[in-house]
């Protein structure tokens, strides 16, 4: 079953939105298979956002993501990578639709509440950066047969 890496960014943690965000993915029908509150090191931040190294906002992005605890998660389910991105909304909250996480809770692109892997390759890479194999739990839920 497909897995993705999602993370409540420091602004979402400070604003008390962990529960709200977990609730959205649980209610949708996805399954939480890993989660932890952690503070990201400079090195991990630079690896995680490596694709943006040459962008003008890179320094600001690394400073922000390391500025306080994040809630890192792995979620599992059918098509979870792209559907989670739809549920998050557009990167810039000025364009993210109401009903999406960024559309409902964020105002500026720099503080946009949540990160989500953008492809199967990113998901695999990011899960590996943030979680050890033994930190993920695979388990059956009886309710799954009513979803898939």
Q: What is the DSSP string of 22-47?
A: HHHHHHHT-EEEEEEEE---HHHHHH
Residues in Cβ contact with 28 at an 8 Å cutoff, skipping those fewer than 6 apart: 77, 83, 87
Closest residue by Cα to residue 72 from 4, 26, 5: 5
Regarding 118 and contact with ligand RTP (CB under 6 A), the answer is: yes
Regarding 44 and contact with ligand RTP (CB under 6 A), the answer is: no
Of 80, 115, 117, 126, catalytic: 115
Rounded to 5 degrees, what angle do the CA atoms 40, 7, 113 make?
A: 100
User: Are 7 and 48 contacting, i.e. CB atoms less than 8 angstroms apart?
Assistant: no
Regarding 109 and contact with ligand RTP (CB under 6 A), the answer is: yes
Which residue stretch of 10-18, 37-45, 110-118, 135-143 sits at the interface with ligand RTP (rule: CB under 6 A)?
110-118
Which residue stretch of 31-39, 73-81, 106-114, 124-132 sits at the interface with ligand RTP (rule: CB under 6 A)?
106-114
Beta carbons within 10 angstroms of residue 39's beta carbon: 12
Instruction: Check if 48 is active-site.
Output: no
Which residue stretch of 12-20, 30-38, 107-115, 134-142 sits at the interface with ligand RTP (rule: CB under 6 A)?
107-115
| Count of positions on this chain that bind ligand RTP (CB under 6 A) | 10
Closest residue by Cα to residue 35 from 60, 3, 58: 3
Cβ proximity to ligand RTP: between 37 and 57 the closer is: 57
Q: Which residues bind ligand RTP (CB under 6 A)?
A: 52, 57, 61, 91, 109-110, 112, 115-116, 118
Which segments are annotated as binding site? 9, 57, 85, 91, 102, 112
Active-site residue set: 115
């Amino acid at each position: 079953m497909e897995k993705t890496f999602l993370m409540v960014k420091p602004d979402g943690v400070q604003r008390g939105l962990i529960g709200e965000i977990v609730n959205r993915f649980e209610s949708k029908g996805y399954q939480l298979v890993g989660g932890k509150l952690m503070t990201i090191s400079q090195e991990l931040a630079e690896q995680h956002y490596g694709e943006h190294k040459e962008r003008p906002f890179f320094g600001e992005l690394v400073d922000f993501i390391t500025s306080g605890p994040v809630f890192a998660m792995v979620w599992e389910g059918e098509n979870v990578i792209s559907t989670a991105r739809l549920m998050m909304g557009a990167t810039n909250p000025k364009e993210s639709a109401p009903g999406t996480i960024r559309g409902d809770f964020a105002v500026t692109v720099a503080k946009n509440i949540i990160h989500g892997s953008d492809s199967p390759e990113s998901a695999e890479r990011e899960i590996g950066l943030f979680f050890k194999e033994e930190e993920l739990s695979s388990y059956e839920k009886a309710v799954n047969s009513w979803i898939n």
